[in-house]
Amino acid sequence: DSNDEASEGGGGGGGDLIKVGFAQTGSESGWRSANTESMKDAFSEENGFELVFNAADNDPAAQISAVRSFISQGVDAIVIAPIVEDGWDDVLQEAKDADIPVILEDRTVTSSDDLYNSWVGLDFKKEGTTAGEWAAENFKEPTKMVVLEGTTGSAPANDRAEGFDAAIEGSAIEKIDSQTGEFTRDGGKTVMEGFLQKYGADGIDLVYAHNDDMALGAIEAIEAAGATPGEDIKIVSIDAVKDGMQALVDGKINFIVECNPLLGEQAADLVKKVLDDQDVEKAYYVADQSFTKEQAAEVIDSRPY
């Protein structure tokens, strides 16, 4: 009885699938792949969803137009992993005017939290602080550090820098350079090659990489320059994806702070609660941990990503 379906306005009705538009950042890193898999698993048909998926190739304008297309498709709810923090007010207002709830997962936005229903993700500033505290404790001699920043304007890049910088205040660590590698392996490699040309391997003691993929690119550049990553040039990174943890076990990275990508179930639960008019918090933080080489060796075979 198609009239019945039409009158229910698609999704949310008894037995109908909930139509969800998911605007993913792109496929820039191993972390992102794990996050996408977690989201697709959770927003499955057997869980009651019809998922419309868009990956914006790290292009903020493309991501906003993807959200606009979800609105014009009349989806029941929109989920966004916002590439950058700024520029969301207009399209979020359009979703609100269309009475389509918005759930943010992973990264945050600077828009007022009146413009979205809830967010689930990680405490990026805390991740930066944990990495910075490790660095401050493990480098007592004058230390020259370069930073591989995440995507310019993204919450993780901003907050991981803020947390780390505060933690190394007054320490022996001097930041001599900092540049974005866009969270990609190639980006990390290219930026690190530039730093090595500029300062020489002897001129760099420590790399702070905002994610493992850039750290893995830096490892390639350091080895190509004839230096030993993890020894001549130490590396502290964030994510704890499989390849990063392997490099930690291999002694090429020295410390990794985890950033849990498995957010799908909580995001799907939030969509259902919001569509059911249940009260939800504006923010749900997922716990992280950190790993030394020894700790990574103990868990690497049992981790799901």
* Alpha-carbon distances of 206 from 136, 232, 234, rounded to whole Å: 11, 9, 5
Pick 158 or 254: Cβ nearer ligand GZL: 158
**Quick check: 212 and 238 in contact, CB under 8 A?**
yes
Closest CB to ligand GZL among residues 104, 167 = 104
Q: Which of 22, 31, 134, 164 binds ligand GZL (CB under 6 A)?
A: 31
Closer to Zn ion by Cβ: residue 13 or 194: 13
Pairing of strands 77-80, 18-24: parallel
Least gap, CB of 17 to ligand GZL (angstroms): 28
Cβ-closest residue to ligand GZL? 31
Min dist. Cβ of residue 28 to ligand GZL (A): 5
The dihedral of CA 260, 228, 204, 293: what is its sign?
positive
Residue 259 contact, options ligand GZL, Zn ion, none, Cβ 5-8 Å cut-off depending on partner type: ligand GZL
Q: Which of residues 16-35 bind Zn ion (CB under 5 A)?
A: 16
Q: Three-state secondary structure along 110-134?
A: CCCHHHCCEEEECCHHHHHHHHHHH
Binder to ligand GZL among 21, 22, 23, 32 (CB under 6 A)?
Answer: 32
Residue 128 and residue 163 in contact, taking contact as beta carbons nearer than 8 Å: yes
Q: Does 12 bind Zn ion (CB under 5 A)?
A: no
What does 183 interact with, of Zn ion, ligand GZL, none (CB < 5 to 8 A by kind)? ligand GZL
CA proximity to 255, closest of 294, 222, 300 = 294
248-267 positions binding ligand GZL, by CB under 6 A: 259
Give the C-alpha separation, 13 to 1, whole Å: 13
Interacting span for Zn ion (CB under 5 A) from 5-13, 35-43, 57-65, 70-78: 5-13
- The rounded radius of gyration (Å) of the Cα atoms in the chain is 21
**How distant, in Å, are the alpha carbons of 29, 55, 113, 158, 300 from that of 282?**
27, 24, 7, 21, 33
Q: Residue 10 CB, nearest distance to Zn ion (Å)?
A: 9
| Residue of 12, 13, 203, 230 that binds Zn ion (CB under 5 A) | 13
Partner that binds at residue 13, options ligand GZL, Zn ion, none, CB closer than 5 to 8 Å by kind: Zn ion
Which residue is nearest to Zn ion, using beta carbons? 13
DSSP secondary structure letters along 51-69: EEEEE-TT-HHHHHHHHHH
In whole angstroms, the minimum distance from the beta carbon of 59 to Zn ion comes to 37
List the Cα angle 147/194/257 in 5-degree steps.
Answer: 25
Three-state secondary-structure class, residue 270 = helix
Among 156, 181, 188, 217, binds ligand GZL (CB under 6 A): 156
Q: Which of 106, 149, 159, 205 binds ligand GZL (CB under 6 A)?
A: 106
Give the span between the Cα atoms of 56 and 165, in whole angstroms: 30
Which residues of this protein are in contact with ligand GZL, per CB under 6 A?
28-29, 31-32, 106-107, 122, 156, 183, 211, 213, 238-239, 259
